[in-house]
A and B are shown apart, each in its own frame.
Chain A
Amino acid sequence: MQKAMKRYAPLFIMPTFAAFLIGFIIPFFQGIYLSFCQFTTVGNAKFNGITNYVKAFSDSFFSHAFVFTVAFALVSIISINVAAFSLALLLTKGLKGTNIFRTVFFMPNLIGGIVLGYIWQILINCVLSITEKPLLALNTSAGYWGLIVLMCWQQIGYMMIIYIAGLQNVSEDIIEAAKIDGAANWRVLWNVKLPMVMPSITICVFLTLTNSFKLFDQNLALTGGEPNHATEMLALNIYQTFYARAGAQWKGIGQAKAVIFCIIVILISVIQLRSTRSKEVQQ
């Protein structure tokens, strides 16, 4: 049986591998190649060296988008994870109606980003208009905090479920042992529960980090980058470069930005994975 499995393995792997090759590997490398070209469609690319990269780096809106994205990612990672973890703690205490609350908190995650963006745009604009502040299209800070509120609202429920699963895995024995040794609730949380749920934290931080960097739908629907690109994040900036600009050079620049973006996201998530992994403990 073992032998037969080995013999047929390539045959079984092939369809998936072919799909992976066609759907991912080839486009990925073609994308990298295109970032060194001037092109309108992928068929008529002309090699033009690193011009695209030079232009991408000298685009002030792109660097602004980077700073904005980092600022957004920092605040949203912390707020989402802290809130999700606190909710998870609350909802593993065996309170009445726990299941209803879990469902309710998870629900925003089921709504698509564009829809959420428009709903929040209307809500925030109403509040701004009542308080006689400039509306979203003119208000950078409202756009920034609006994005954060929106992302928290959408993501907390999802991360909460992961934390709940992690917390339920912490064995009662260890907690009891800690309590017998005289540990107060805080200490149990800090020195027992947190290290034990480190794998969940790794996953949640990874998910929120990459989600924040790749955020697109919500950004497009809520602010559209207004006013004047001030609330534009990296993904939206790349999209706008690629599609909203007329002229032969822009596609290549957009592609170069996309490659830079890809490298940034990979680098940051690898660093993050390493640093949180190292804090994980063996059960």
Chain B
Amino acid sequence: MWVDHLAGALAGRTSRRGFLARTAVVGAALAADPVNYVLRPASAYSSVCGDGASCSSGWTAFCVTVNKGVNQCPPGSFAAGWWKADHASVCGGRARYYVDCNASCIHGQPGHYSCHCRCAPGTTCDKRRTCCNQFRYGQCHQEVHCYGPVVCRVVSCVPPWVWAHCSKSAATDNRTLTHSAPDLPHHYDAVEARYVALHGHASPLGASVGPRQSLAGGLMQNYQHGLIAWSPHTIAAMLRATAVGYLHTGGPAGSYGFPTHDERPTTDGLARLGLLQHGCVYAGGGIVVHTPAGAWLPRWIWLCDHSSNVGRPTSHMIASVGQGHVGAFQHGALFSAAATGVRLVSGDCYTHYVSLGRESSPLGYPTSDTASTPDNRGTWTSYADGVIVSRPDIGTWEILGAVYGYWRDSGSFSSPLGYPTSAQQATSKPDAGVAHFEHGDVYTSASLGTHAVLPPLLDVYVQNNRDSGPLGLPIGDATTSGSLTVQQFEGGSITYDAGTGTTTVTLSTPSSGTG
């Protein structure tokens, strides 16, 4: 930050574009060589771009200057030779290597190439020339006989024979030690040390792109295939497939902070994970999603590691109703809420949950993972005030409120009712509902309570048009005394005599029937 402020002040030593360009160069100068820049009568350009940075100096420009910030031979050129400058501070005191990119001959014809001699374009201080010097160091691509002038120079702290088709036959020119450009590193910092340890251009990251960025108290460098980020509290960590997702979160300056580890493959090897100070990024199957840190993070990571369970994540982990969070997967979703914990809903239960409105439905957030039913014939998920039960032969149904409470208190799957075979349905009475189960019905009414009607009484109840008939709604559960089982209804009762196998309907009004 101090660099930003100081750069703005010092850039004043003269249109908007010019000011911005100067400010950028001054900022880089301060970052590269603050003592010399402030205390000695040198321009920002010379501090950043080093000796011989003008076009008339006769040297060739750096590739980062003429190749959109990419420290690589641009199209139409090839690595043709290299030299080194010893004891380079930007390489930790070791040699700094320069690879000349010479223009490729078109159709192998000498003198035919796709560039022309000029000064490097733009507002950069690296005003050196491009495509002017017909010269070749000669250690690289010796199979190529025809070559044009040097288009630009790639630099690296890693020997070129490691990452380019070059021999180890050394040439030295220490005169070029200070040559540089704004988009090249100016310090041997933690990012550069890591990049070198990864073998620079030969690393999975490829060539650097753009300048070193000072962000959020740390550093970040973009590369062709990823990035390295470092802070005083985190290692210089490499992200590749997850880099785009990380930058989407704001990168180091965003709420996820810096990477804490190198990006790693998921346990199943199908994707990549980038672990961050305050979150995680997943990349795989053509999708990149992320999650902030929270109670769900270990579970989210585990699911990403084992995608055979509910498939790949398909959405970011996002805030939802009731201060909860939800992240979707191919075959389910992870839910987290303070009151209900971290739960995974999957399969048919999840599909049904989605159809009901998921966490915005009356079910609210799940209180359990989706699990097998005790008899392993189906699956179920419980919620604060309900349940979804799925079995292939009877379908997937939700039970809510009083009916759910009744079923649960009756022993749920072990109850006489068995599995639900319908959601709660309306009855002939406006304040009542009914849910059907394998072995009975449960009626619920605000005024009459919740009661099951079970066989054999149920058969007679059905014959008498259920709640639409003269019996109306049940007002209590069936009671058994000796051989007699009796259940009271609004309009009468049904009695079953186990001794005779007969069922009798007794109505409060004169009309009556017998089952």
**A pairs with B:** no
